[in-house]
Chain A
Amino acid sequence: MGAFFRIWAVMMKELTQMRRDRLTFAMMFGVPIMQLILFGYAINMDPKNLPAAVVAEEQTPIVRTIIHAMENSGYYDFILQTEDPDESQTLLARGDVAFVVTIPTGFTERLIRGERPELLIEADASDPAAASGAVSSAQTIIASALADELNGSLSYLAQGPPPFDLRVQRLYNPEGRTQYNIVPGLLGVILTMTLVMITGMAMTREVEQGTMENLLAMPAKPVEVMLGKIFPYVGVGAGQVFVILMAAHFIFGVPFVGNLFVLLLGVGVFMLANLALGFTFSTLAQSQMQAMQLTFFFFLPSILLSGFMFPFRGMPEWAQMIGEVMPLTHFLRIVRGVMLKGASLGELYIQMLAMLAFVIVVMAIAMSRYRRTLD
């Protein structure tokens, strides 16, 4: 009986403390709700409505039928119809479209003559999962749509093999190897985890242990303390970048077709964004535990909504909008763009600017919370 009362006493004390620690309490309910929403609504393993471009010079009923059929399948969302192949290639390299469908000149004429003209789908296979559903169903979708269209004198074309020759090019990752997508992405994930958490905890540790008061009483300004604490971890981050790039190359055989300088510039801006966020967390958190919790609260949606684990374009629009805020989203486009697609700075500067905007907003919050004193 005594044990029961002692357990009861500890339990009541625990519940009281749990109620006091608002952040932990919020985390216990906030995190599951966040996971439910993200996994339930945002994440789609068979992504639909992927942005696509179509390059076609002719506007015949047959071409329109093909485009409509692809759109109606739900996989393709044609955001651009152009006659200029270069324009569509840029969009593909930037990751603005996942597919480019090219209908060559004279397609309709040759199809009617029964010459089985080529129809080209170029898919961004840097994320193999994103492209596979749309690509594998394309043949069936187009063939069955054409079967309805080809009637009367053309009905013979609907017999036998499809009256067109679908060619699929998986660009950037022809073998569809998942590592090519994941390993460069890990660079961003590991940097986020390390830098945000370490920076967030660096200041709160001093506050928690009472040494902050001592530091401030000596001629050290908080910003000097912060910078002194951050620089060693910038070095750690650089080491991590080196290790991951080496592993990507020598262990996983991930291609590196782009410019290393562009990648390192991206890494630099990305590290700045994470350090700024960690600094902000350290001004918000009262303890190391809270800094950890804030980091986790940011890390979870970062991983899920950035396109690291699940195809970005496969998510509903609201989830993409949240994803666009995360520095990781933009960094993934840079690192995958440079390594797999050979994207240039001209194609990636938007991502750099997006991360810089994040830095500015986050630093503004930090500065408004920043105190030189113990107040």
Chain B
Amino acid sequence: MSGDSDLAIDVRGLVKRFGDKAAVNGVDIQMPRGKVWGFLGPNGSGKTTTIRMICGLLKISEGEGSCLGYDIKKDASRIKLKTGYMTQKFSFWSDLTIRENLEFVARLYQLPKMKRVVDETLEGLGLAHRQRQLAGALSGGWKQRLALAAVTMHGPDLLLLDEPTAGVDPQARRDFWDEIHHLSRNGMTVLVSTHYMDEAERCDRIVYLANGQKVTEGRVQNIIDRSGLVTWRAEGDAVRDLSSEIEGQDGAEHVAYFGSALHVSGTDEARLRDTISHFQRPDVEWHEVRPSLEDAFIALMARAGVDQRDHG
């Protein structure tokens, strides 16, 4: 296979077993170049394992495919040269300075004009004045930005980000996403796994995994539409007591709090409407709303047989 496929990632029937347990159980992903893809699913659904197989960090038990046109089984070393992978946990060297970390990466990739590349990266990060500080002394948000800069310094075609914003404050998350879109506009394909719904909605496309299998994929709006959900939103002082009463009622398939409001969703519009009418009370205000991505995912997980409470 050559390196000029139109698909950044093209894998079929990907399986990874650890002992008897299949962490990934037959995943197909066809991901065109130049988009930002969100990788979603509960903890333990196989997102990290899939990413690791794509970039050659784990052996593939079954299945085949290519990444940037290179065979993921045979050409791992070439794939590594053209991808940047940011691990879930900060995995740069805390006992090296910011500059030394970048220099090490630049040397490993044999980047020409190393000093200039590192200087530019530090400028771009806004860390030039702190370059002599140990990386371990950075805050969580800065660590993530340093890691992102380090894994993109060699100009990869594909960026794999594994929950890059977990535990990062909202402002830093926003900056981080601005950077991701900036990279994408410059032609980089990005696959980013996340648990945050607002981040999922910032992606061009979404792949949703559960139990090691792909449950759905596509644009955010398409996923919501395809879920066939109707959602009613209840607001008011008495909402707190409503949840336990309405749960399990005819047509009310999913009940979840959104802040102080309650979302009740179901696929059968008429039966849900009927049920809601029984809960019309003076201190509760009902509106039909557009189902959110989260409503759609909760419904998807339930259909896939995943109890989301097991997965935090």
Kindly identify which residue among B56, B83, B91 contacts A210, using a CB–CB cutoff of 8 Å. B91
Is the CB–CB distance between B77 and A373 below 8 Å? no
Is the CB–CB distance between A211 and B91 below 8 Å? yes
A213-B108 in contact given A373-B56, A374-B52, A375-B59 (Cβ < 8 Å): no
Contact partners of A251 in chain B: CB under 8 A: none
A161 close to chain B: CB less than 8 A: no
Is the CB–CB distance between A213 and B105 below 8 Å? no
A227 close to chain B: CB less than 8 A: no
CA distance A65 to B94 in the complex (A): 75
A373-B91 in contact given A217-B80, A218-B105 (Cβ < 8 Å): no
A373-B108 in contact given A210-B89, A217-B80, A218-B80 (Cβ < 8 Å): no
Within 8 A of A (CB), among B64-119: 77, 80-81, 83, 85, 87, 89-94, 105, 108-109
Is the CB–CB distance between A219 and B81 below 8 Å? yes
Is the CB–CB distance between A373 and B57 below 8 Å? yes
CA distance A213 to B105 in the complex (A): 14
CA distance A221 to B76 in the complex (A): 11
Is the CB–CB distance between B58 and A217 below 8 Å? no
Kindly identify which residue among B77, B81, B83, B87 contacts A214, using a CB–CB cutoff of 8 Å. B87
Nearest residue (CB) in A for B18 is A375
A375-B58 in contact given A210-B91, A214-B92, A220-B108 (Cβ < 8 Å): yes
Is the CB–CB distance between A219 and B108 below 8 Å? yes
Nearest residue (CB) in B for A374 is B57
Nearest residue (CB) in A for B55 is A217
CB distance from A73 to the nearest CB of B (A): 61
Number of A interface residues, CB 8 Å? 14
Within 8 A of A (CB), among B27-59: 52, 55-59
Kindly identify which residue among B57, B89, B93 contacts A217, using a CB–CB cutoff of 8 Å. B57
Contact partners of A221 in chain B: CB under 8 A: 77
Contact partners of B83 in chain A: CB under 8 A: 217
Chain A 357-375 per-residue mask, 1 if CB under 8 angstroms from chain B, else 0: 0000000000000000111
CA distance A75 to B283 in the complex (A): 103
- Size range of the interface on B? 20 to 34
CA distance A153 to B101 in the complex (A): 94
Kindly identify which residue among A211, A219, A373 contacts B92, using a CB–CB cutoff of 8 Å. A211
A216 close to chain B: CB less than 8 A: yes
Kindly identify which residue among B81, B91, B93 contacts A213, using a CB–CB cutoff of 8 Å. B91
Most A-side CB within 10 Å, residue of B81, B87, B109: B87
CA distance A374 to B55 in the complex (A): 11
Is the CB–CB distance between B80 and A373 below 8 Å? no
CA distance A221 to B56 in the complex (A): 12
Kindly identify which residue among A209, A211, A216, A218 contacts B109, using a CB–CB cutoff of 8 Å. A218
CA distance A217 to B80 in the complex (A): 6
Is the CB–CB distance between A218 and B57 below 8 Å? no
Nearest residue (CB) in A for B150 is A214
Within 8 A of A (CB), among B255-292: none
CA distance A218 to B93 in the complex (A): 14
Kindly identify which residue among B58, B77, B80 contacts A374, using a CB–CB cutoff of 8 Å. B58
Within 8 A of B (CB), among A117-165: none
Nearest residue (CB) in A for B105 is A218
Contact partners of A217 in chain B: CB under 8 A: 55, 57, 80, 83, 85, 87
Chain A 81-103 per-residue mask, 1 if CB under 8 angstroms from chain B, else 0: 00000000000000000000000
Contact partners of A210 in chain B: CB under 8 A: 87, 89-91
Is the CB–CB distance between A219 and B77 below 8 Å? yes
Kindly identify which residue among A211, A219, A373 contacts B93, using a CB–CB cutoff of 8 Å. A211
Is the CB–CB distance between B57 and A213 below 8 Å? yes
CB distance from A40 to the nearest CB of B (A): 42
Within 8 A of B (CB), among A160-214: 209-211, 213-214
CA distance A221 to B89 in the complex (A): 21
CA distance A351 to B80 in the complex (A): 44
CB distance from B182 to the nearest CB of A (A): 22
Contact partners of B56 in chain A: CB under 8 A: 373
Most B-side CB within 10 Å, residue of A209, A216, A217: A217
CA distance A122 to B58 in the complex (A): 64
A373-B59 in contact given A214-B87, A214-B91, A219-B108 (Cβ < 8 Å): yes
CB distance from A375 to the nearest CB of B (A): 5
Contact partners of B85 in chain A: CB under 8 A: 214, 217
Contact partners of B89 in chain A: CB under 8 A: 210
CA distance A220 to B80 in the complex (A): 9
CB distance from B245 to the nearest CB of A (A): 40
Within 8 A of A (CB), among B152-168: none
Nearest residue (CB) in B for A218 is B108
Given contacts A210-B90, A216-B57, A373-B58, 14 further A-B contacts (CB under 8 A): A209-B94, A210-B87, A211-B93, A213-B57, A213-B91, A214-B85, A217-B80, A217-B83, A217-B85, A218-B105, A219-B108, A373-B59, A375-B58, A375-B59
14 A-B residue pairs with Cβ-Cβ distance under 8 Å, sorted by A, are A210-B91, A213-B57, A213-B87, A214-B85, A214-B91, A217-B80, A218-B105, A218-B108, A219-B77, A219-B80, A219-B81, A374-B52, A374-B57, A374-B58
Q: Measuring CB to CB, which residues of chain A are less than 8 angstroms from any residue of chain B? A: 209-211, 213-214, 216-221, 373-375
Leading 8 A-B pairs by shortest Cβ distance: A214-B91, A217-B85, A210-B91, A210-B89, A219-B80, A211-B91, A374-B57, A218-B108
